[in-house]
Structure 1
């Protein structure tokens, strides 16, 4: 019975658009030791929410004790273009692949709810669905369920999906047949570690978020340390370097969901145009996008760092126009960009 229900659930998940669906026991995951070490080192930076409800985040069984199974699902967003190509175009901005169209939270949660409703109707169980919206260790659960393994860059890697996939989970009171946990297939490969522009990995399988460009461009408020600004290049929202170089991506299939296909204007947008965005223009351009969450000030700050790193004197006046911006962080970034392009902000 458990095996039959799990098999039918996986068929329903595939019909809903998920690439993979696996099941694990909530008690199979306990990341207390690693999480305590990560927080103790201060590697979480300003992400105070990671230090909240540590017991829930470390042990899925504590989040909802009634749950008997966790269904972990993967949804592919593999790009149809080379995401590293834009890094050689200093007058353009590099936006992380996952943010080049619709917000995945909305898309994945809709699919999760469809699968969860089916499970409730079939078994009469209770369910809870999660997509980055609660203290849930998705990557650890994904490895325990056999979806993939946590690579040396700390992200989940799959033999079927490579590095480009979102993770969603369904906690359920249904007792489902378990899948076999995945094992590490990284071997001696160091591609993800060696490509990191800011040396954000103190060691394999460890990440100091305070040096990670994804953290700096998205989570970090205020000015970025001057020592790190020059290492950010033209990355203005997130960073895909460690994902893009993973050899397992040779098995990845391009995203089927059109909402994940890149909007042409976001593949390599002109820095000059982005820097001129006011609040209304920013909200209009990124309506329905995860980028909207960081708001205009933080985004334009990132754009100005990219302008500074371009060394393009032609962009100097664009930056100079923002040296007296109402947002002091933007103004600081503008003055830095002017100085980096051979001018003075005075």
Structure 2
């Protein structure tokens, strides 16, 4: 029996943003390109997850080549400049428009509650959480946050690495700690408070350590990192230290394991590997530090290089089989695959 997987992060909407003329082909057919499309989602038991609105930085002639740098650790690259609100807004609207289009095709539904997710799982419909990976499309007065919430926004990361008016992210660096700069701005602190009031999940992935600590101090919701791994095993700036994991545990929060090979390999290189041993090592570490009700999956599908034997969403049963072979029992696998996400979302959203 296929175990349904609810996932903490994907960048599929970015593919539609870059090629809107072919979105029927990209979403509705198995092209073998990228990691997600509706046929492979159904084949792999991908029940749903966080669909990210991520705004790519404008390309410049002097921008560093991240792919080349990652091939040769150690590396540390400067972050792109902040994207102004006026420039971010139409791009975010276009990406949310693509998600709304996907909903109109049938087979996917934008969800606003755990009851919605459970209904989708019962019906075999993909449950999509509208998530902002970076808050560039939110005005400093937060009025637009309420507009986005009305459109279905239920999860938000204040930053995607580059700075925003709300806070600072981690640079692309290995080896490095997440202690890389200042904490939340005053606007960022107001953003956390308003997200709490609206019951919008605040995502800690990509946020630097001081910003993480600010959220931990200010938020009354469980601390959640939707797609991050263990810094103790892979010392990337994007991974979470054991101290951060302890803070997440103490709030009964959640970490979704990221499939990006550069955040799984000990050497930080972006080369795909065979098998699932690095995945299991990180899962073991997260389970040891967080407990078995606070760990899930956060693939980064369509946003990263992933293990060769996983390949795409259709490969999720192979990951589940690897968990069995590693010694995880069926109740634990079900919690990792979807149960823990439903638990923490119910605590965060209150429904």
TM bracket, shorter-chain basis: under 0.3
Q: TM-score with structure 2 length normalisation? A: 0.25
Q: TM-score with structure 1 length normalisation? A: 0.25
Bigger radius of gyration among the two: 1
By percentage of residues, which structure has more helix? 1
